[in-house]
Structure 1
Amino acid sequence: MSSSKRPLNSASSAKSKRRKNEGQSRLDSFFGHASPSKVKPDSPKKRVPKDPEIIDVDSLDNELSTNQSSASLSQTASLQLHPITFIQTQHEPGETSAPQYTSLAVDPISFDPQTAYVPHSNGILYSFLAHALSTVSGTRSRIAILDTLTNYFRTVIVHHPQSLLPSLYLLSNTLSPPYSVLELNIGPSIISHAIQQVSGLSSASLKKLYSSSGDPGDVAFIAKSNTRTLLPHPPLLVTSVYKSLLKIATCKGQGATKEKQKIIEKLLVSAKGEEIRFLVRTLSQNLRVGAVRTSLLTALARGFVLTPLTPAHKESSLYASPDLLSSIQPIATGSRKKKPTTEIARDELLAKFRLAEHLLRKVFVQHPDYDHIVDALLEGGLDDLPERVPLTVGIPVYPALGSPIRSFDEVFERLNDMPFAAELKYDGQRAQIHASRQSDGRIYTGVFSRHLEDMTSKYPDVAALMQALFKQHQDTQSLIIDSEVVAIDCATGSLKSFQALSGRARKDVSLQEVEIPVAVFAFDLIYLDGNVLLERPFRARRNLLRTRFPAFIPENKLVARFQHVESCDSEEGQVPLQNFWESVVSRHQEGLMLKLLDDEVRDSENAERKRKLLSAVYDADKRTFSWMKLKKDYVSGLGDSLDLIPIGAWYGNGRKVNWWSPVLLGIWDPSRGYPVAVCKCMSGFTDAFYKTLSERYSLDDATNCSKSRLWHCEVGGFKPDVYFKPQEVWEIRGADVTLSPVSIAAQHLTSSSKGLSLRFPRFVRLRDDKSITQASDASFLANMWRSQQGKSKEDDGDELIDISNDSGGDYAEMDNESE
């Protein structure tokens, strides 16, 4: 494998906040807010125009200057919003027109990458990538999405393998691995000015177009649809677009804004047809397509099964030979079935697919770097990929996750009396700590969040702890520890809340500047001295952690402490377990993590069961019942619930792209006579509920849902994509009532500049028996907060991550939540 442009055993120089797919909420100010009384809202679902037309934007300014009605404009602009076919635009004589491509959403068996794309001398045309994105964005079928991506990757592998890596980053709407994030750092105004400069339209024209479409990509598409250029421009390439984005991300200092706008203008001038739409969406960090990481990895694996690069690849057991493919009957477009056919040859192909997909996903969660993976795939194919791209110190592993449960009875039922450990769930920040002894004697340390963000510069005291730990254990060469970093009182050793921890600076902190001391509570050891421990049972990993690295309190108080998590094993009996649980609740801790100690063994009693046996291995990036979390807000009967009013929502991501998620909830303010926003909620919902919610609150029905705030409500610092008509009440449970800088709910009752919010809210049920005036009010919320006697925690109110698992469950996660 070729070497990377980043050293593996050095801390990344890219320090930034966690990347989030902010969706439409980030774009509300893209061209300004629309007038709620003049603009008819559009549906969030993708429309497929039967006869797409090109808008004559040359006359748009004139029409606006003569006060053309916005209704007429909206009707005109809506003709070209979300086509699913590649549209060829008008061009000057001598200018190369956008090519026409065959459909990518076909059975890969019948797809020929050699004939589907006319090679370009310098690489893959960006228009071909835009064609793939357009196809993916126009369908909800997972089969069609996978077919499209698989056929796209096969074409790239055949015609220009060097475009594979840029394609992956552009399709994933990223520029680099998650642990070394490069941010575009461009505001809406830069993109808006670039579109104005290229299209010649005024700001007022763009605002009108945006109010009709709600998407900057659609605005740019319409604005440039009739733009002429004096000289033909060379076509955009996937590699050149990606390099331009890297230039934008690395622009620093004075003049950076002008330089970024200049690069964007060059891209827009050369862009044609669908290239314009997806280029601007990429710049806005919101592609609005249903292809997530799992889909990309699945399609990439299938692409390499079907497309060998060298004769050596053809010897692989994972390669699908021409003889095998020729014996399979292709499935016609539109008749694809979710269940595989009984055809023996196709079953053999699907088996190869499954093996390749499992292999690639396993490699990625242990080594999430497309640079290294693509290099290895192009060099040696799928064979021996885990050995060529191994788990590496300095590159974070996707963390194992826990499934929520509601009682110890459920634990014993699921684990069938198998031994487990109950660990205290700390109110801190999960941290994966990497350390290794360098050849020059120095100790490299990397600290990564549960979202793989590099936090090393935030925790110099943890880095100093690793220096001291390696000094104590001279035989230790390298390690990766999973842990929780918790704020502590150095004098007493008592634990502080996450609110205290959140007071630390996010980056570039020196050891002498540390004002909030922390302790590292280690709970897992996943790598030690070159040995990957992921496949060992949890009992073995825990024993090795405790015996090899005992608890350690450095003499220097500026250095973090090293401790093991407090725990109680089920083998001690149910009474000690219950006492441990009651102790956790009385100390106002979050709850427990319950972890299977040993692999489940099939015996005579469960020999006939078809379910998969539980494993005590470290399942990276998986939510299983080998790890379970019992939080005090999950336990029935503990604490009061709140009756809240849904007043808005955001566009969902990934699996929930066509639903509203999360939902903005509010309390009733009797003094104002309308709701006041208190928190987001995205936990406790079923798929069926999401569907009915989308039907009740559809942008096609302006009486219940609108992009503009048509109904009286106060949202504080929340910025939802859409607003709901306040008309129903939901029962909600949560962990704590907490101070929040974005909520203004009950602000006048907190003696603080901050309002109150609900931490880890979870939907319980719809309260048909209550009207919105009977919902919980500010006094009720404030009384709950006071009754917590100082255990409330600060929440920034905007840290929800939309996570979906295979079982269809939904969980609200935050940075401070350990698993």
Structure 2
Amino acid sequence: MGRCEDKKSVVFLVRILMSNLRVGCTVLSFLDAAAEACYLNKVGRVRYEKDFEKEEVKIAKKKVREKYDLSRNDVTYVLEKIVEGGIEGLDGIRVRTFYAIASMLGSPVNSIEAILTHYGSESITCEWKYDGVRCQIHYDDGIIKVFNRHSEENTDTWRGDVIPYLLEKLEGREEVKSFILDVEVVAVARRDLENVRILPFQTLSTRKRKSPGDESTTTTNTTSSGSEVDVCVYAFDCLYLNAEILVDLELSERREHLDTVLEVVGSKGYFDRVTSINVSLDVMEVDDGEEEDEAKPSPDEEIKSAFEEAVKNKCEGLMLKSTKSKYEAGARGGWLKLKKDYIDGLCDTLDVVPIGAWRGTGRKAEKGFFSPWLVAVYDKQNDKFESICRLLSLTDEMYTSKTEFYRQRLLEKPSDRVNSRETNCYFWEPCEVWEIKGADLTASPVHSATLGIAEDDFGDDGEEGGRGIGLRFPRFVRERKDKGIEEATTSEEILRMFQAQRE
């Protein structure tokens, strides 16, 4: 460091050592650049920057990203294929076991009417949306690997329970030689096979991992306090079975293949199929003229009933999918999600105070935006603002105005009125109130809300000072110019809401 010639050299040396250059470059930046390089190599030279906006380049970028979504944990493999054969070289990339597939996602809707409008007269399936950890389970040649929703391998997390359970079930079963399943792992209370109760997400988040040497084959683990936590794997899709790629099949067909796997590994309360019902939205369908004692419920009534049943059983809501839908890796929009916090009146809003932010990445870095934003609730007892979540969901207009506003107010260190475990972001003196919504509250090793007042540390996992409370999936609602910062939601209110949620 002493040999650095200027301040900028020191800054980038430190960033290299921290593996965080903060230049706004992501994996997708490399993939887009690779597609542009293929075009440049083909035409020999590019006269203008806008040449990279040609349709041929856009198609190449789309193909590169689509193939990357089939091999999310190995970008090197994708780039090697491009080097070897250009864009055409990507044709050899297909779904394979142990290469994570980008998860297909659902777009939120806030009403049943929006669902009916989106799907028209299609037949859909309404799945319970479990409040757990989404995983992708790969099995081949006696080996199991598990990937999280970000395509990162987290096999060790489940090595003490889920994996030995599966290996025991699959041993010697020739009808299932390989598979890729899309699943949700959920904490459950399992008194017996007929009484399986779904537990909140925070129960799963406090769960300790078993050591690799533990050969127990039950899907049971313990919390940090020593109490047992059972888990159940709820499978909802099969993307690959016995060397056959299934992503281009309709959902109804993929479900048949999923049933083939569940016939071998399935067990109620341990490894089960997601609860779902099929609903036909075609109001013109008739029942061949047969008379019924009771009128058949309308599609919206069926969806409403399924939603209420899911919420009653401690689920977040419903996932809505066309029975003809293909599995589009990394795509959002083909599926819909209806959650209780997306429907007006089912979830209180919180008034929070922005206390800090990070420099954005990707597109936000290019525009100079701060993102995400660190927001806090008010600990009235100690006159402190305690962090509760990171917030992302602002409009570009607000990103611009608020970045400019707070850039003029940066402090060298956090305000004395701020209590936050986050230390690597920009801070300022608290001065505004924003209204936000979220899914639910959860015990958090990162956020400090209620630490100043709570007697319970919500399952200390070894971190200094125990756990606070965090808000999951926060969404910006509006700015509250009518409120002062001391009128923000208090830590006491958060504690009461969290305790009520646990009951």
TM-score, length-scaled by structure 1 = 0.53
Give 1:383's aligned residue. 88
TM-superposed CA distance for 1:506, in Å, is 7.5
How has the CA–CA distance of structure 1 residues 552 and 382 changed in structure 2, closer, same or farther, with 3 Å as cutoff?
closer
Q: Is the 8 A contact 1:458 1:507 kept in 2?
A: no
Distance 1:355 1:629 in 2: 29
Change in Cα spacing, 1:634 to 1:479, as seen in structure 2 (3 Å) is: same
1:674 CA displacement: 4.4
Structure 2 match to 1:163:
none
Equivalent of residue 279 in structure 2, options 566, 570, 573: 570
Query: Does structure 1 conserve the Cα–Cα contact (< 8 Å) formed by 2:389 and 2:471?
Result: yes
Q: 2:228 matched to 1:532?
A: no
Same amino acid, percent of matched pairs? 31
Is 1:648 the counterpart of 2:356? The answer is yes
CA shift in 2, pair 1:284/1:521, >3 Å: same
Greater helix fraction, Structure 1 or Structure 2 = 1
When residues 676 and 358 of structure 1 are mapped into structure 2, their CA distance, relative to the original with a 3 A threshold, is closer
Q: Judge conservation of contact 1:487–1:498 (CA < 8 Å) in 2.
A: yes
Among 290, 302, 314, the alignment partner of 2:36 is: 302
Q: Offset of 1:416 from its aligned partner?
A: 2.3
Cα offset, 1:714, TM superposition = 2.5
* Structure 1 residue 448 corresponds to structure 2 residue 147: yes
Structure 2 vs 1, CA of residues 692 and 284 (structure 1 numbering), >3 Å: closer, same or farther?
Answer: same
> Which of the numbers 126, 130, 146 marks the counterpart of 1:426?
130
1:370 aligned onto 2:370: no
Structure 1 residue 662 corresponds to structure 2 residue 372? yes
Closer, same or farther in 2 for the Cα pair 1:789/1:454, shift >3 Å?
A: closer
Residue number in structure 1 paired with 2:6: 222
Pairing of 1:613-624 with structure 2 (within 5 A) = 616-624=325-333
User: What residue identity is the alignment partner of 1:543?
Assistant: E
Quote the residue 2:460 is aligned against.
none
Residue of structure 1 equivalent to 2:387: 677
| Equivalent residue letter for 1:786 | Q
Alignment of 1:148-547 (within 5 A): 195=1, 198-199=2-3, 220=4, 222=6, 278-307=12-41, 319-320=42-43, 330-331=47-48, 350-368=54-72, 369-387=74-92, 389-437=93-141, 443-460=142-159, 461-471=161-171, 473-492=173-192, 493-502=196-205, 503-505=207-209, 508=212, 510-512=214-216, 515=221, 516-547=229-260
- How far 1:399 moved relative to its partner? 1.2
Provide the secondary structure at the position in 2 that maps to 1:747. Answer: coil
Cα distance in 2 for residues equivalent to 1:404 and 1:747:
32
| Distance in 1, Cα, partners of 2:340 & 2:256 | 28
Given the superposition, is the C-alpha separation of residues 303 and 462 from structure 1 closer, same or farther in structure 2, using an over 3 Å criterion? same
Number of residue pairs matched by the alignment: 460
User: 301, 315, 337: which one pairs with 1:589?
Assistant: 315
Offset of residue 511 of structure 1: 3.0
Which structure is higher in RCO with an 8 Å CA cutoff and minimum separation 6?
2
When residues 732 and 381 of structure 1 are mapped into structure 2, their CA distance, relative to the original with a 3 A threshold, is: closer
Aligned residue for 2:314, secondary structure, equals coil
Partners of 1:431 and 1:532 in 2: CA distance: 19
1:750 and 2:458 aligned: no
SS state of the match for residue 456, structure 2? coil
Partner of 2:429: 725
Offset at residue 280 of structure 1 (A): 4.1
Partner Cα distance (1:424, 1:665) in 2: 31
How much has 1:535 moved relative to structure 2? 1.6
Listed as ranges, the gaps of 5+ residues in structure 2 are 222-228, 281-296, 458-466
Structure-1 residue corresponding to 2:490: 777
Q: For the residues of structure 1 that align with 2:431 and 2:345, how far apart are their CA atoms?
A: 27
* Equivalent position amino acid for 1:378 in 2: V
CA offsets 1:331-352 (integer angstroms, 9 cap, x no match): 3xxxx55xx7xxxxx99xx343
State the shift of 1:637 in Å: 1.4
Whole-angstrom CA distance in 1 between matches of 2:448 and 2:81: 52
CA contact (8 A) 1:648 1:664 kept: yes
Cα pair distance change 1:279/1:786, threshold 3 Å: closer
Displacement of 1:483 after TM fit? 0.6
Letter of the 1:574 counterpart? D
Which secondary structure state, in structure 2, belongs to the residue aligned with residue 653 of structure 1? coil
CA displacement at 1:453 relative to structure 2: 2.0
Measured at CA, do residues 671 and 749 of structure 1 come closer, stay the same or move farther in structure 2, by a change above 3 Å? closer
CA apart distance, 1:553: 5.0
**Rounded Cα–Cα distance in structure 2 between residues aligned with 1:298 and 1:744:** 39
After TM superposition, give the deviation of residue 767 of structure 1 in Å: 0.9
Do structure 1's residue 787 and structure 2's residue 503 form an aligned pair? Answer: no
Structure 1 residues 670 and 380, CA gap change in structure 2 (3 angstroms): closer
Cα distance in 2 for partners of 1:478, 1:551 equals 12
Return closer, same or farther for 1:590/1:464 CA change in 2, 3 Å cut-off: same
Residues 520 and 708 (structure 1), Cα distance of their counterparts in 2 relative to 1, 3 Å cut? same
Greater shift in the superposed pair: 662-671 or 639-648: 662-671
The secondary structure found in structure 2 opposite 1:358 is helix
- 5+ residue gaps, structure 1: 1-194, 200-219, 224-272, 308-318, 341-345, 438-442, 599-615, 791-819
| 1-structure distance, mates of 2:479, 2:211 | 43
Task: Supply the distance in 1 between the matched residues of 2:11 and 2:426 (Cα, whole angstroms).
Answer: 22
Paired position in structure 2 for 1:550: 263
Query: Residue type matched to 2:486 in 1?
Result: T
Distance 2:210 2:476 in 1: 32
Q: Is the Cα contact below 8 Å between 1:429 and 1:485 reproduced in 2?
A: yes
Counterpart for residue 764 of structure 1: 477
Distance 2:70 2:372 in 1: 29
Q: CA RMSD in A?
A: 2.8
Deviations along 1:380-436, one digit per CA (max 9) or x if unpaired, are 33325222x332211111111221221211111222232222211112111111111
Amino acid at match of 1:633: D
Q: Shift of residue 451 of structure 1?
A: 1.5
Distance 1:686 1:749 in 2: 34
Alpha-carbon displacement from aligned partner over 1:478-528 (angstroms, at most 9, x marks no partner): 211111112233433322333232313287363339534322211111111
Structure 1 SS opposite 2:88: coil
Deviation of the 1:539 alpha carbon: 2.2
The amino acid that maps onto 1:737 is L
Aligned-partner Cα distance in 1 for 2:172–2:303? 34
Is the 8 Å Cα contact of residues 353 and 433 (structure 2) preserved in structure 1? yes
Q: Which has the larger radius of gyration?
A: 1
Change in CA separation of 1:371 and 1:769 when aligned onto 2, cut-off 3 Å: closer
Residue identity matched to 1:651: R
Post-superposition shift, 1:736? Answer: 1.9
Report what 1:633 is aligned to.
341
Task: Report what 1:691 is aligned to.
Answer: 400
User: Contact 1:667 / 1:778 at 8 angstroms: preserved in 2?
Assistant: yes
1:706 aligned partner, one-letter code: L
1:554 deviation in Å? 5.9
